Amino acid sequence: MRLPVVKPLTLNARSYDLFVAALGYEERARAAAEQLSSNSVIKYASAFGDRKELSYAENAQWMTDHGFVIEEARSDREFAANIDNALAALGEEDVPKICVDISSMTRARIAIVVEALASDLRGRLYVVDFVYSLGRFNPPPGDRVPNLHVGPVSPAFAGWWSEPERGVAAIVGLGYEQDQALGAIQHVEAADAWAMLPSSREAAYEEAVLEANRTLLDFIPRSRRGTYVVEHPFESFVALESLVEATSRHSNVVIFPFGPKIFCLLSLLVASLHSDVAVWRVSAGGADKALQRYASGVLTGVQVLWQKAVEESGSGPPFSGVEQL
Amino acid sequence: MRVDHTPTIFESFNARALKPSQVAKTFVPSRQFERLIRRCHSVVVGPRGSGKTTLLKMLQTPALEAWQHPLADKVRNRVDYTGVFVAADISWSEQLAALGAGHLAEEPRRLLGIAAFTTHTLRSLVKAFIARLPSAERAAVQFRRVELSPDAEATIVREIAREWHLKPSAATFLSLKHSLSARASRVAQIGSQARFLSESYVAEQDFVHLHFRKAASFAIEVFEDVSAEREGKWAFLFDELELAPEWIRRDLLEGLRSTDERFLFKLALSPSVPDLEPLQHSLAASPGHDYEQLPLWYAEKREAYGFCEQLWDAMLEERHIEPKSARQALGRSYFETPVEEWRDSAEGTAYRADSRIGRDFKSLAEKDPTFRSYLIEHGINLRKLSKVPAEERAAALRKVAPLVPLRDFYLRREEEGAAGSQRVRSRKSPSLYAGAESLFAISEGNPRWFIGIVDRLLEGRNIHRKRVPEAVQSREILAAAERFTAMLRTIAVSETSAGLSRGLLSLVEAVGEFLHKEAVLRPFSPEPTGSFTVDSHTPSDLLVAVEQALNAGAFVYIPDDEGQILLQSIRGKRFRLSYLLAPLYGFPLRLGPPASLGRILREVDEKRGRSGQLRLIGAEREELG
């Protein structure tokens, strides 16, 4: 895979060659498109095959009215093929500018997009603005349904350990599902664990996350905890990449990006730079109850340049523009 | 964020990350270890955390050399083989499965997976060679070290490298190991670039056709010939075999019937392993002859006590805490009869009106009319307990004594004027489960669980007090149980044609609720149901959930035949719920007669349907003092 160069993103309604959104049931699914897609040449929305409830119809109507091509993908395989086709349909621009709204994508589909951009067969360079709309706080559902998938978010992000005998270090982006992070760390039998707590304007999330992970945090010393600011994803990326770089020297690293999806994106970008690192997801596969998320007004993101492979471009830092924090 | 590499508590729970010498530092030998070291093939069977990895790692040269224990010399004299530990874990098995996924056909993917596994195994062998060389520190104990000149090492490395299709940069074992690491990376690279490669590319790589046994056999032959060290065998210690691809598992299990005299295989497995049926010819005729099966769980709780006591002592010593037995530090379990109760009494029995047992019986009789009926039926007068003849005491009293405190704890005194109803306390009441024997039983002799609880008890000043307060014990035991259920909740289930199958945790909860009902809510019985059998017509998705629960340690297999512990089918077999879950669900720490799993689930499902959602276990947190 080609290496990403990650940069801070200043949001404005620029002219994109391709705007990619997910058509889902969350009200925030169209928040980024409303602000940023107006000048885009191609507007593409991938719809899920099921759960057409809550704000789905409203979102579909808005996207149709605003020139989006809506394509349904009933499986991740289908989604991957659709994304490849969407990239292939780009004109002959030297460096296409793309916007991808990950707010209502599943983690698996975010991984598919990252992989598609990184592995582009045509060797094209892309400038991609990944954007994320933070949802207003909504308490987690009381019932937990069993998990259907516990494993790498996709085969491309399974990582590779040339020394499997080394201990596993789990880096966990915390979410507010009760003890989910604790279960995941034990599932992979991690010998070491780092907890990344999300902080944002929606302060209620932080309280809920602390409560849901009380048992875990009892075991993780303060020196192994960090906070990342959802509204500052570039700085969060820098911190995460540094942590992974240091930890992977003596441990095999698995990242569990629970919580805000922006952390999932950052994890995938870091794993693109460290091919030995695994990114896992824990999912009920759509069997859990659909939860409404309204846009909170927080829209943030990072810009990623996919450059040629290292042997062609030479070495260089994975990020630029801001001093390492 | 500053990166701090101070070890955390997770490390102490898991031997995988530890070097052999670190494992040896705190190793407590069990009777299974004494059987494992024998000069024969072994299959070590146990759920997660039961100590399989630790036992295998202890068979490596550096571990045996570093081990300081009264039994260490005796063990070293008996072990005349070199251990080659081949690690595995769930993440690595996912990586093997992901190799070339979506881009390679099945056969090249299989070849690539074999290549990855072979490379890993041969790298482990080279590490074992390195461990046989004299160490720079010249430890006090030298175990199976051989003197090799640099020329001899170079000869060995060149021969092996040629056979293994490697080009190490130097003729040293270290360089050979590095070139194998590079090959492992190359395998991953081929997998990720597969879409750009021709279909035949994988098969054209000479190293993918190496078979680990033949490659290892050659290397060992060269090593022994050049070093002139032909004494002893080589034991391949394969961990977590249930995670390996099926074709690897098959190959290794068939290796148990290997006729190569130089090799021993010591394999670690979970109790329920898929695809065992085709291997019956390797397994069926062999136990006790070609190989030994070593169970790492205890169907009967008392079998774990000795090991737990030793582990307790070792943990105190490692922390330089003044020696104190677990019983002294934690007190006695409510479920055990303290020897002082009968030894120091004039009547010479613990069953007296004024003893703890007598008081428990009286307290329950005041609350529970069905218990009163039981006493009357057996002619027991609580004011004259000590007068009950010994045979009757055994028949009527001793067998119910562990049930009484549990039932008494959960039932409140019948209020005068109430309509005969008994109100029940919240189910989570782990203070009942404090005490040394309870801790031993609850930990199931599982080192990871035991260490996880005791580590916390030994922190701070509590251990230096006369007794660790029950509230502190309760808190840590409950926390351990909740950690365990968090892990159970994570395990993925399969989706069936009928829809989502019952989650593993909901299955465990259903059994836990049933056992509580049997012991506490139903009319008093001297033998409430305490285990279950899996019916022959149990649906396959439920079988999968039971197998997962078994491998995770939530269910404990009660074998009817001690010689056959590897389960090829769980139908018709008997299991109990792990005692680690007893504080969450409120059931006794004792093996009771079985009920069928089908009946258990029907009753629980019916009750939920009738009275609405039962309160979820873990939905609330009790504030413990």
Q: B323-362, pLDDT tens digit by residue?
A: 999 999 999 888 876 655 555 555 666 677 777 788 889 9
Q: How far is B99 from chain A (nearest CA, A)?
A: 7
Q: How far is B453 from chain A (nearest CA, A)?
A: 12
Does residue B183 register a pLDDT over 60?
A: yes
Cβ atoms of residues A280 and A256 within 8 Å: yes
> Does residue B435 or residue B334 have the better pLDDT?
B435
- Cβ distance of A165 and B482 shorter than 8 Å: no
Residue range A278-305: mean pLDDT, rounded: 91
Does residue B122 register a pLDDT over 60?
A: yes
With residue B532 as reference, give the H or E element that holds it. strand B531-533
Tokens 């792990």 correspond to what residue? Answer: B578
Quick: pLDDT tens for A200-245: 999 999 999 999 999 999 889 999 999 999 999 999 999 999 999 9
So what's the pLDDT on residue B415?
37
So what's the pLDDT on residue B503?
79
Quick: pLDDT tens for B360-379: 899 999 999 999 999 999 88
Task: Tell me which chain A residues have a C-beta less than 8 angstroms from the C-beta of B488.
Answer: 183
Task: Tell me which chain A residues have a C-beta less than 8 angstroms from the C-beta of B7.
Answer: 192
Nearest to A160 among B2, B97, B188 (CB): B188
Nearest of A189, A157, A150 to residue A264 by alpha carbon? A157
Distances (CA, A) of A310 to A270, A271, A322, B183, B193: 15, 15, 22, 20, 15
Q: Does A189 touch chain B (CB under 8 A)?
A: yes
Helix (H, G, I), strand (E, B) or coil at B555: strand
Q: How far is B370 from chain A (nearest CA, A)?
A: 37
Q: How far apart are CA B559 and CA B557, in angstroms?
A: 6
Q: How far is A171 from chain B (nearest CA, A)?
A: 12
β-bridge mates for residue B265, sequence order: B236
pLDDT band at B14 (very low <50, low <70, confident <90, very high): confident
Q: How far apart are CA A270 and CA A194, in angstroms?
A: 16
pLDDT band at A292 (very low <50, low <70, confident <90, very high): very high
Instruction: Please count the residue pairs, one from chain A and one from chain B, whose beta carbons lie less than 8 angstroms apart.
Output: 167
Two tokens, residue B142: 């030298």
Give the rounded percent of residues in chain B with a pLDDT score beyond 90: 57
| Phi, psi (deg, nearest 5) at residue A43 | -115, 120
Range list of β-strands (E), A156-294? 168-173, 192-199, 225-229, 252-257, 278-283
Tokens 């979970």 correspond to what residue? Answer: B270
Q: How far apart are CA B365 and CA B381, in angstroms?
A: 11
Mutate to test the interface with A, among B239, B242, B490, B502 (most CBs of A within 10 A): B490
Quick: pLDDT tens for A119-147: 876 678 899 999 999 999 998 877 778 88
Q: How far is A157 from chain B (nearest CA, A)?
A: 9
So what's the pLDDT on residue A324?
28
Nearest of B557, B618, B549 to residue B583 by alpha carbon? B618
Q: How far is B542 from chain A (nearest CA, A)?
A: 13
pLDDT band at A313 (very low <50, low <70, confident <90, very high): very low
Mutate to test the interface with B, among A165, A211, A243 (most CBs of B within 10 A): A165
- Cβ distance of A189 and B14 shorter than 8 Å: yes
Q: Does A139 touch chain B (CB under 8 A)?
A: no
Q: Does B2 touch chain A (CB under 8 A)?
A: yes
Residue range B394-403: mean pLDDT, rounded: 81
Enumerate residues 186 to 225 of chain B having a beta carbon within 8 A of any beta carbon in chain A: 188, 192, 195
- Cβ distance of B91 and A166 shorter than 8 Å: no
Residue range A168-179: mean pLDDT, rounded: 95
Two tokens, residue A260: 């805000």
Q: How far apart are CA B598 and CA B577, in angstroms?
A: 15
Helix (H, G, I), strand (E, B) or coil at B624: coil
Nearest to B490 among A145, A150, A275 (CB): A150
- Cβ distance of A188 and B91 shorter than 8 Å: yes
Residue range B67-87: mean pLDDT, rounded: 94
Question: Which pTM does this prediction carry?
Answer: 0.91
Does residue B79 register a pLDDT over 90?
A: yes
So what's the pLDDT on residue B616?
26
pLDDT band at B416 (very low <50, low <70, confident <90, very high): very low
> Does residue B231 or residue A135 have the better pLDDT?
A135
- Cβ distance of B17 and A168 shorter than 8 Å: yes
The contacts of residue B579 (CB under 8 Å, 6+ apart) are B301, B441, B442, B444, B589
Identity of the residue numbered A9: L
Q: How far apart are CA B225 and CA B77, in angstroms?
A: 23
- Cβ distance of B89 and A189 shorter than 8 Å: yes
Task: Tell me which chain B residues have a C-beta less than 8 angstroms from the C-beta of A151.
Answer: 94, 492
Quick: pLDDT tens for B420-434: 545 555 555 557 899
pLDDT band at B221 (very low <50, low <70, confident <90, very high): very high
Q: Does B622 touch chain A (CB under 8 A)?
A: no
- Cβ distance of A221 and B92 shorter than 8 Å: no
Nearest of A94, A96, A130, A135 to residue A113 by alpha carbon? A130
Residue range B528-553: mean pLDDT, rounded: 92
pLDDT band at A284 (very low <50, low <70, confident <90, very high): confident
Does residue A62 register a pLDDT over 80?
A: yes
Enumerate residues 235 to 254 of chain A having a beta carbon within 8 A of any beta carbon in chain B: 239, 242-243, 246-247, 250-252, 254
Helix (H, G, I), strand (E, B) or coil at B511: helix
Q: How far apart are CA B59 and CA B81, in angstroms?
A: 9
Q: Does A274 touch chain B (CB under 8 A)?
A: no
pLDDT band at A69 (very low <50, low <70, confident <90, very high): very high
- Cβ distance of A223 and B181 shorter than 8 Å: no
- Cβ distance of A254 and B91 shorter than 8 Å: yes
- In chain A, what are the helix, strand and coil shares in percent, each to the nearest 5? 35, 25, 40
So what's the pLDDT on residue B16?
79
Q: How far apart are CA B403 and CA B428, in angstroms?
A: 16
Nearest of B30, B120, B101, B20 to residue B309 by alpha carbon? B30
Mutate to test the interface with A, among B1, B181, B456 (most CBs of A within 10 A): B1
> Does residue A285 or residue A203 have the better pLDDT?
A203
Tokens 């202890």 correspond to what residue? Answer: B58
Q: How far is A115 from chain B (nearest CA, A)?
A: 11
Distances (CA, A) of B130 to B157, B176, B430: 11, 10, 50
Enumerate residues 112 to 131 of chain A having a beta carbon within 8 A of any beta carbon in chain B: 121
Enumerate residues 440 to 499 of chain B having a beta carbon within 8 A of any beta carbon in chain A: 479, 482-483, 485-493, 495
Mean residue pLDDT of chain B comes to 85
Distances (CA, A) of B194 to A78, B92, B109, B197, B531: 20, 20, 10, 5, 51
| Phi, psi (deg, nearest 5) at residue B71 | -90, -5
pLDDT band at A320 (very low <50, low <70, confident <90, very high): very low
So what's the pLDDT on residue B474?
92
Two tokens, residue A182: 């604790």
Cβ atoms of residues B83 and B128 within 8 Å: yes
Q: How far is B544 from chain A (nearest CA, A)?
A: 13
Helix (H, G, I), strand (E, B) or coil at B157: helix
- Cβ distance of B17 and A191 shorter than 8 Å: yes
- Cβ distance of B14 and A223 shorter than 8 Å: no
pLDDT band at A12 (very low <50, low <70, confident <90, very high): confident
Q: Which range (B185-194, B241-250, B304-313) has the least confidence?
A: B241-250
Q: Does B502 touch chain A (CB under 8 A)?
A: yes
Alpha helices in B378-469 (DSSP H): 390-392, 403-410, 436-443, 447-457
The contacts of residue B204 (CB under 8 Å, 6+ apart) are none
- Cβ distance of B4 and A223 shorter than 8 Å: yes
> Does residue B593 or residue A140 have the better pLDDT?
B593
- Cβ distance of B5 and A250 shorter than 8 Å: yes
Does residue B414 register a pLDDT over 50?
A: no
Identity of the residue numbered A75: S
- Cβ distance of B495 and A148 shorter than 8 Å: yes
Does residue B187 register a pLDDT over 60?
A: yes
Quick: pLDDT tens for B546-579: 999 999 999 999 988 766 788 888 999 999 999 9
